[in-house]
């Protein structure tokens, strides 16, 4: 199992245009930020060495060095487009305010902006998490973004309908890119689905929604692949400490995957208290084991 990527759902559903290298590098920086055991600050710089990129994404050394130089510039130049909740207000923010590239030491450094820090570190909000190994073999930038958009709904195994223009924006497509549906299908959507189904822990199926003969949106069904070690922990009970139960109970209560345990209108605090009791029970704990591992629990 690789390192855990954690993003606020606001960030998952945002619109931004980053290439494969830029997305990969950004995910490594987010992982580095998550390892801080304190509140993050814009003054924190998160450094990634070329060797980390090589190991995680299985690329040649020369490719990694070039990726660092190009990727860090792309992140610095890119913006994120957010939609304000319960309104039509659009908000544009930057990923970072400082980007460093040290050619002599083959490292890059990123200092995230004030706006981005809560989107990658504030687990009190709704968030999506996944193992970075799942996207390591994806070579389409659209496949990485589609994986994130779909995996956020794994608790119910289907996504809502993404309206066409909004979906294009979330994938990072420019206004003039692949405008015809045939080009979009062949160069973006089909390739992304094929890569996800071949290389990740889920399989997805697309549904095209039409108004007359015109496609106006897409939704997706997903099924979780059965992992090789999935059955190895099914009969295992872990006696968690009180501090572990408190921490993981709070984190689990924010996951889409356990939302079905909440009664309509129930607060996060009440759901968290319910989950904490379930973590103490040998039978009920089993359903949380995959999520505990994703949240960083190690036996």
From residue 225, give the alpha-carbon distance in Å to each of 200, 217, 259.
8, 26, 21
Q: pLDDT value at position 247? A: 84
| pLDDT tens for each residue of 260-290 | 787 777 788 888 888 998 898 888 888 888 8
Instruction: Tell me if 59 is assigned to some domain.
Output: yes
Instruction: Going residue by residue through the chain, which has 299 residues, state the pLDDT in tens, using 9 for 90 and above.
Output: 578 888 888 999 999 999 999 999 999 999 999 888 778 999 999 999 999 999 999 988 888 888 888 899 999 999 999 987 666 788 999 999 999 999 899 999 999 999 999 999 855 557 888 889 999 999 999 999 999 999 999 878 899 999 999 999 999 998 899 999 999 999 999 999 999 999 999 999 999 999 999 999 999 999 988 755 555 555 678 888 888 888 888 888 888 778 778 777 778 888 888 899 889 888 888 888 888 877 777 76
pTM for this model (two decimals)? 0.78
Question: Do residues 157 and 94 share a domain?
Answer: no
Question: Do residues 181 and 107 share a domain?
Answer: no
Question: Do residues 50 and 172 share a domain?
Answer: no
Instruction: Tell me if 235 is assigned to some domain.
Output: no
- Residue 58 is part of which domain span? 1-135
Question: Do residues 173 and 75 share a domain?
Answer: no
Least Cα distance to 150 among 216, 206, 209 occurs for 206
Question: Do residues 24 and 113 share a domain?
Answer: yes
Rounded CA gap, 192 and 138, in Å?
Answer: 8
Domain boundary residue, one of 175, 207, 230? 230
Rounded CA gap, 29 and 79, in Å?
Answer: 16
What domain count does the chain have? 3
Least Cα distance to 97 among 67, 82, 77 occurs for 77
Instruction: Tell me if 141 is assigned to some domain.
Output: yes
Instruction: Tell me if 299 is assigned to some domain.
Output: no
Q: pLDDT value at position 154? A: 86
Q: pLDDT value at position 147? A: 98
| pLDDT tens for each residue of 195-225 | 999 999 999 999 999 999 999 999 999 998 8
Instruction: Tell me if 283 is assigned to some domain.
Output: yes
At residue 208, what are phi and psi to the nearest 5 degrees? -100, 125
Rounded CA gap, 134 and 136, in Å?
Answer: 6
CATH assignment of the domain containing 202: 1.10.10.10
Question: Do residues 152 and 121 share a domain?
Answer: no
Least Cα distance to 136 among 24, 37, 15 occurs for 24
Least Cα distance to 42 among 6, 4, 108, 94 occurs for 94
Domain boundary residue, one of 118, 135, 152? 135
Rounded CA gap, 14 and 161, in Å?
Answer: 16
Rounded CA gap, 282 and 279, in Å?
Answer: 8
Q: Identify whether the C-beta of residue 203 lies closer than 8 Å to the C-beta of residue 223.
A: yes
Question: Do residues 191 and 130 share a domain?
Answer: no
Rounded CA gap, 133 and 159, in Å?
Answer: 22
Domain boundary residue, one of 135, 168, 192? 135
Report DSSP letters for 208-271, one per residue: EEEETTEEEEEEEEEEE---TTTTTTTT------HHHHHHHHHHHTTBGGGGGGSPTT--HHHH
Question: Do residues 116 and 207 share a domain?
Answer: no
Instruction: Tell me if 298 is assigned to some domain.
Output: no
Say how far residue 50 (Cα) sits from the centre of its chain. 22
């Amino acid at each position: 199992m690789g390192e855990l990527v954690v993003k606020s759902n606001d960030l998952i559903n945002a619109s931004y245009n980053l290439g494969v290298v830029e997305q990969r590098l950004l995910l490594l920086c987010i992982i580095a930020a998550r390892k801080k055991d304190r509140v993050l600050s814009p003054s924190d710089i998160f450094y990634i060495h070329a060797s980390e990129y090589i190991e995680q994404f299985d690329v040649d050394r020369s490719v990694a060095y070039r990726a660092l130089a190009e990727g860090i510039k792309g992140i610095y130049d890119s913006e994120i487009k957010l939609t304000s909740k319960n309104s039509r207000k659009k908000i544009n923010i930057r990923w970072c305010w400082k980007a460093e590239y040290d050619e002599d030491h083959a490292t890059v450094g990123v200092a995230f902006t004030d706006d981005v820090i809560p989107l990658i570190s504030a687990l009190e909000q709704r968030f999506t998490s996944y193992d970075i190994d799942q996207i390591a073999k994806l070579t389409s930038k659209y496949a990485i973004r589609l994986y994130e958009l779909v995996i956020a709904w794994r608790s119910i195994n289907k996504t809502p309908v993404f309206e066409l223009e909004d979906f294009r924006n979330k994938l990072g497509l420019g206004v003039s890119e692949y405008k015809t549906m045939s080009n979009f299908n062949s160069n973006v959507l089909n390739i992304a689905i094929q890569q996800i189904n071949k290389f990740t822990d889920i399989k997805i199926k697309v549904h095209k929604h039409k108004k007359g003969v015109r496609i106006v949106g897409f939704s997706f069904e997903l099924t979780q692949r059965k992992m090789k070690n999935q059955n190895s922990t099914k009969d295992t009970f872990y006696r968690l400490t009180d501090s572990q139960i408190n921490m993981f109970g709070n984190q689990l209560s924010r996951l889409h995957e356990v939302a079905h345990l909440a009664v309509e209108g129930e607060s996060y605090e009440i759901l968290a208290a319910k989950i904490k009791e379930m973590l103490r029970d040998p039978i009920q704990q089993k359903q949380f084991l995959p999520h505990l591992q994703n949240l960083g629990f190690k036996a």
